[in-house]
């Protein structure tokens, strides 16, 4: 009930291509889904987040697609650049009740080849 399953574990994309990372969850009480980006030797930073009342959110080249019935959400990086090479984490949380923590995916290491 508390897991967030992220795939793929690693991804190699050519410059200009589309990077797609997927996450699936089980707990239907989750109602906030952020994506974090982490560069080597640094802490993660919030990239983009979505709530389940919308099916898609776009910020620049980054888009979250959300499928509530399938309990899945994904990150799309359009026109991928070498500077996007990082580890990406999806997460899920609920701010109701006593569950006061983010449930993190295991991460996807993205490499964008020049």
Write out the residues near other proteins by the rule CB under 8 A.
Answer: 9, 31-32, 34, 41-46, 49, 51, 89, 93-95, 100-102, 104-107
For residue 19, whether the previous peptide bond is cis, meaning omega lies within 30 degrees of 0, is: no
Q: Which of 107, 60, 106, 99 is nearest to 83 (CA)?
A: 60
At 50, list the tokens: 């979505």
Distance CA 73, CA 11 (A): 17
Q: How far is the CB of 17 from other proteins (least distance, A)?
A: 25
Minimum CB separation of residue 25 from other proteins in Å reads 14
Minimum distance from CB of 105 to other proteins (Å)? 6
Q: Which CB sits closer to other proteins, 19 or 108?
A: 108
Written as six digits, the tokens of 99 are 């569950």
Q: Kindly tell me which of 17 and 52 has the beta carbon lying closer to other proteins.
A: 52
In the complex with other proteins, the residue whose CB is nearer, 15 or 58, is 58
Q: Which is nearer to other proteins, 8 or 16 (CB)?
A: 8
CA distances (Å), 71 to each of 26, 33, 34, 52, in order?
A: 7, 11, 14, 10
Minimum CB–partner distance for residue 98 and other proteins (Å): 10
């Amino acid at each position: 009930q508390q897991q967030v399953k992220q795939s793929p574990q690693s991804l190699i994309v050519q410059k200009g291509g589309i990077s797609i990372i997927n996450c699936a969850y089980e707990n239907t009480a989750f109602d906030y889904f952020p994506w974090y980006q982490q560069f080597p030797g640094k802490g993660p930073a919030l990239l983009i987040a979505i709530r389940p009342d919308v099916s898609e959110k776009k910020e620049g080249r980054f888009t979250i697609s959300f499928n509530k019935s399938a309990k899945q959400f994904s990150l799309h990086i359009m026109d991928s650049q070498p500077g996007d090479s990082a580890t990406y984490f999806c997460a899920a949380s609920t701010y109701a009740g006593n569950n006061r923590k983010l449930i993190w995916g295991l991460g996807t290491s993205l490499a964008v080849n020049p």
